[in-house]
Amino acid sequence: MSALAGKVIAVTGAGRGLGRAFAEACVAAGAEVVVAELDEKLGKAAAEALKASFVPLDLGESTSITAMAKAIDKRHGRLDGLVNNGAIATGIGGKTYDEIDIETWDRVMRVNVRGTWLAVKACAPLLRAGAAKGKGASIVNLASDTALWGAPRLLHYVASKGAVISMTRSLARELGPDRIAVNAIAPGLVLTESTEYVPAQRHQHYVDGRAMPRAQMPDDVTGAVVFLLSDAAAFITGQVLPVNGGFVMN
């Protein structure tokens, strides 16, 4: 039996990049996937290609997050898994702590931190419904290894992902009684369109620093997410898993 057979999984930011890769992997593992995406064109295209359903989502707007959960409830009545992948990451790096403008800082925190919290809050009733039907339900938050090694010239993003790590641990304790596991993965620098802007020097820094010295691809990350969404990981919660070829080791 496929690892996610019969499960309903929502993936935020699933229109492209890692989010799309997560959605594809979940479908391949047997799940019924909900593509939640800000860019309607990309989201609908991904959903059509994957034979998944699409719901619009703007993680910067609380009303949009609530509407997403209502749409999922109407279509599926439950969730067995939520992948909090959506975030602002593209085009914001390269500035030192004192060069970041307040507007950009607030926008990153609004989407990456508040948006993740509100997505969990909105989807919790659906996850409880999913947990009641099976061995439990799962939330996988997308952190980043930048928060583990303290990447420079990216403070707003690093801080937001550090907050996601802390929220993961606290949420694990609050949602544990409902049999909802909450974990995070911390990928390294993955080669997707969202990281094309990153200077070649930073890419090479990652390659040189890994125990497995090569570029990291989306397929290097998807397996960990599928595992954490599966029943095999039902008793794993509150953990942060670096997935970066050994650039950072716990």
Give φ, ψ of 181 to 5 degrees: -85, 140
Find the largest Cα–Cα distance for the chain.
53
Give the chain's radius of gyration (CA, Å): 17
CA pair distance 22, 220, nearest whole angstrom = 11
Q: What is the DSSP letter of 174?
A: H
For 250, counting Cβ atoms within 10 Å of its Cβ (0-12 exposed, 13-18 middle, 19+ buried), the class is exposed
User: What positions carry a catalytic annotation?
Assistant: 157
Sole residue written with tokens 């094309």: 196
Helices (H), the chain: 17-28, 40-50, 62-76, 102-109, 115-133, 146-149, 155-175, 200-209, 219-229
CA distance 111 to 162: 14
